[in-house]
């Protein structure tokens, strides 16, 4: 709100726009054309840490070239999921932006040998999906399309594709369909995400679809069968209906809820699931402990922990900024809780950390903070951005409207896209090349890989499992207090004295 609120202002602020658009202002706009995340600056964030480089080390010729650094990682109890890079897209579901850009996400991730989690509500939102008399999905063209995209560009079996399920998906039998009919590599149970504490939501711009989704059991606001709402929609009073999912609940009874979770996981494995994941959001610390306890008891393969500040689709603005445990704090709690389980000789799942990560230094710091339990990071919004830009650049070049930021590199796709010829040679099939959106993702991931190798080589780390908590230091006392990472002025204090001989 402005310091001075003047009578006569048409309402440019959030309060003002809410005065004539109501709850519509809760969400980012335009829906389906953008990705969104928190703008809030947290007291401790990734930039409050620096990576420790060193000139000292064993006379190992591997460190003479940073390109020797190995970024391969493996997931699962049997370590059977191999990824060439420690990156994955952590749940792109039924939002319009995910649907429109999955070609780039799936293609780029597959070529890079990384993973993709196909997120919630894809089957329920597909108007062409078919269901049996028990309201269980039997055919979903959109889910099949996404899996086929990944399979088409996958190389040597590297990477993985996983289908996620929220309470609505479980009710519709999505995981059983994905396991038995689509042959997915893994399935994921979803408790939440870092962007919001409620279920998923999207905007529906067609009345017929809004009614179909209500029939399938979703919460649709306003009611698409209410005559007043229908008339208002037809007159243009609002652009579309909101589709919401139910909020999942876990019982406070630890014994009972743990048993129920273990039974759910065992049933999925009996039905053919080779790998079972869990994704949890930025809930209170007790809920993170709950997630790790359940994962330990059920011997879950992978736990993805998504910190506050992230987001991809239609999460409420204020919720993204003001709800949940931020990524750095959550990462520190993950390490603490995993250490407790390890001391008790309990199973600890492979950890994937997500929540606003975008660049290679953040990947390195994430691995350091959660070492040795972390095996990959989740980067959905950043990957969508790379896909969008790849597609946009190609479209503008084809239309003869090339933007200035790419003119200096040439006038064609072959000249502008750094990896065009390399990808054409390695992945091209029958003279075809991947879509420009996929080239965008592949190029972005290769930049991250190169930057990460450079950082690791400078720290004398030749593989990801060598990164540990001593590889970063805190730049502020508060950052040190939150994470347990030494403050920079106290880092190496004893070693420095030993070297000085004083």
Q: What is the DSSP string of 283-347?
A: --HHHHHHHHHHHHHHT-SEEEEE-BT---S---HHHHHHSS-BHHHHHHHHHHHHHHHHHTT--
Structure tokens at 314: 């239609």
CA distance 99 to 334: 32
Provide the pLDDT confidence category of residue 431 given band limits of 50, 70 and 90. Answer: low
Query: What are 22-50's pLDDT values in tens digits?
Result: 888 888 877 777 777 888 889 999 999 99
Q: Report pLDDT for 318.
A: 86
Strands 160-165 and 137-139: unpaired
- Inform me whether the pLDDT recorded for 490 exceeds 90: yes
HSE, CB side, 13 Å, CA atoms: give it for residue 300. Answer: 29
Beta-sheet strands, E only, within 355-408: 374-378
Query: What are 307-346's pLDDT values in tens digits?
Result: 998 777 678 888 888 999 999 999 999 999 999 999 999 9
Q: Report pLDDT for 430.
A: 61
Q: How far out from the chain centre does Cα 452 lie?
A: 19
More confident site: 62 or 367: 367
Residues 251-272 have a mean pLDDT of 95
205 Cβ partners below 8 Å, 6+ apart? 239, 240
Residues 378-407 have a mean pLDDT of 94
CA distance 354 to 378: 4
The three state secondary structure string of 80-132 is CEEECCCEEEEEECCCHHHHHHHHHHHHHHHHHCCEEEECCCHHHHCCCCEEC
For residue 85, whether the previous peptide bond is cis, meaning omega lies within 30 degrees of 0, is: no
Give rounded-to-5 percent helix, strand, coil for the chain: 45, 15, 40
CA distance 420 to 413: 7
Q: Report pLDDT for 417.
A: 94
- Rounding to the nearest 10 degrees, give the CA dihedral for residues 326, 329, 334, 339: 180
- Residue ranges of the chain assigned to CATH 3.20.20.70: 31-54+81-200+252-394+418-502
Provide the pLDDT confidence category of residue 429 given band limits of 50, 70 and 90. Answer: low
Judged by DSSP in three states, 68 sits in: helix
Residues 466-477 have a mean pLDDT of 97
Q: How far out from the chain centre does Cα 399 lie?
A: 33
Query: What are 350-359's pLDDT values in tens digits?
Result: 999 999 999 9
CA distance 482 to 335: 12
Q: Is the separation of the CB atoms in 109 and 115 below 8 Å?
A: yes
More confident site: 453 or 63: 453
- Inform me whether the pLDDT recorded for 154 exceeds 70: yes
- Inform me whether the pLDDT recorded for 446 exceeds 90: yes
Tokens 């090349």, residue?
A: 433
Query: What are 393-423's pLDDT values in tens digits?
Result: 999 999 999 999 999 999 999 999 999 999 9
- Rounding to the nearest 10 degrees, give the CA dihedral for residues 141, 178, 152, 447: 110
Query: What are 362-377's pLDDT values in tens digits?
Result: 999 999 999 999 999 9
Residues 51-75 have a mean pLDDT of 90
Domain 31-54+81-200+252-394+418-502 coded CATH 3.20.20.70: yes
Q: Is the separation of the CB atoms in 280 and 303 below 8 Å?
A: yes
Judged by DSSP in three states, 170 sits in: helix
Structure tokens at 455: 């950082």
């Amino acid at each position: 709100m402005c310091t001075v609120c003047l009578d006569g202002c048409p309402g440019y602020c959030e309060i003002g726009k809410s005065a004539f658009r109501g709850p519509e202002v809760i969400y980012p706009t335009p829906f389906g054309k953008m990705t969104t995340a928190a703008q809030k600056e947290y007291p401790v964030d990734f930039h409050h840490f620096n990576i420790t480089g060193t000139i000292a080390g064993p006379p190992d010729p591997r460190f003479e070239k940073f390109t020797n650094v190995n970024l391969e990682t493996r997931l699962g109890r049997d370590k059977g999921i191999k990824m060439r890079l420690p990156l994955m897209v952590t749940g792109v579901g039924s939002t319009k932006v995910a649907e429109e850009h999955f070609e780039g996400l799936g293609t780029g991730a597959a070529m890079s040998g990384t993973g993709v989690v196909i997120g919630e509500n894809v089957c329920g939102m597909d108007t062409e999906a078919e269901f049996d008399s028990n309201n269980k999905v039997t055919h979903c063209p959109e889910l099949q399309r996404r899996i086929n995209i990944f399979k088409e560009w996958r190389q040597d079996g590297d990477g993985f594709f996983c289908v996620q399920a929220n309470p609505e998906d479980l009710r519709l039998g999505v995981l059983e369909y994905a396991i038995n009919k689509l042959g997915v590599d893994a399935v994921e149970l979803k408790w939440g995400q870092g962007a919001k504490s409620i279920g998923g939501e999207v905007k529906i711009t067609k009345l017929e679809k809004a009614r179909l989704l209500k029939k399938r059991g979703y919460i649709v606001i306003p009611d698409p069968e209410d005559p007043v709402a229908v008339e208002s929609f037809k007159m243009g009073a609002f652009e579309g209906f909101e589709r919401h999912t139910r909020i999942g609940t876990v019982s406070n009874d630890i014994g009972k809820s743990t048993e129920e979770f273990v039974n759910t996981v065992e049933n999925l494995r009996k039905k053919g699931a080779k790998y079972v994941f869990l994704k949890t959001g930025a809930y209170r610390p007790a809920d993170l402990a709950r997630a790790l306890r359940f994962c330990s008891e059920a011997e879950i393969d992978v736990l993805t922990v998504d910190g506050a500040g992230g987001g991809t689709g239609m999460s409420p603005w204020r919720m993204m900024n003001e709800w949940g445990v931020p990524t750095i704090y959550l990462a520190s709690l993950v390490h603490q809780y995993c250490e407790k389980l390890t001391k008790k000789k309990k199973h600890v799942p492979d950890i994937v950390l997500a929540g606003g990560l975008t660049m290679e230094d953040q990947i390195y710091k994430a691995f350091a903070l959660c070492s040795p339990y972390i095996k990959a990071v989740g980067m959905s919004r950043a990957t969508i951005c790379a896909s969008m830009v790849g597609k946009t650049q190609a479209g503008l070049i084809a239309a003869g409207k090339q933007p200035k930021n790419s003119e200096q590199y040439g006038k064609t796709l072959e000249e502008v896209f750094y990896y065009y010829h390399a990808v054409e040679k390695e992945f091209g099939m029958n003279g075809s090349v991947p879509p420009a959106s996929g080239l965008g993702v592949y190029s972005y991931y290769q930049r991250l890989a190169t930057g990460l190798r450079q950082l690791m080589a400078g720290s004398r780390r030749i593989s990801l499992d060598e990164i540990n908590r001593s590889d970063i230091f805190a730049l502020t006392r508060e950052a040190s207090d939150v994470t347990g990472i030494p403050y920079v002025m106290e880092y190496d204090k004893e070693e420095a004295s030993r070297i000085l001989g004083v």
